[in-house]
Amino acid sequence: MENHYASVIESPIGKLTIFADDEFVHAVTFADADVRDLTQNALTLKVALQFEDYFKGKLKDFDFPIKQKGTDFQQQVWQNLIAIPYGETTSYAKFSEHHPLAIRAIAAANGKNNIAIAVPCHRVIGSNGKLVGYAGGLWRKQWLLQHEREIAQKGQTEIKF
């Protein structure tokens, strides 16, 4: 039987709970979770530090090992989410342009993502530019997108003449 661990951090958008075993992170969630019988381990502590750096604007890409339960199709969608650049957004239509008939399935897989922020489903918006669906609440999605845009612009250097 594998061991289960959890770390909880306070963030500007609420409590974030990180669930892992000895090798992989299985979930990062805003939902209230029962962690009474779980302790932290080296992996959950490493991930907690990465999230703290993300919220401080010091980290753009997470590098912890992820293993979510899901179909091969869902796994592919989640990998594609990770490829959306920090500070940018894409629409469901653009995200599914290689599989236009699968737009609903892609949206459903996006909704089943259990790794908040690090698998950035918050970067997918409606074709009309509106914020749509986010399990953590649209106000969090808006905060995350605004945070990333602000940090991404700070990284640009000014050209001085």
Strand partners, 16: 9
User: What is the rounded distance in angstroms from the CA atom of residue 45 to the CA atom of residue 42?
Assistant: 5
> How far, CA to CA in Å, does 49 sit from each of 3, 5, 36, 114?
21, 15, 21, 19
**121: annotated active-site residue:** yes
**Sequence-distant (≥ 6) Cβ neighbours of residue 150 within 8 angstroms:** 57
In the set 18, 38, 121, 151, the catalytic residue is 121
Q: Which residues are catalytic?
A: 121
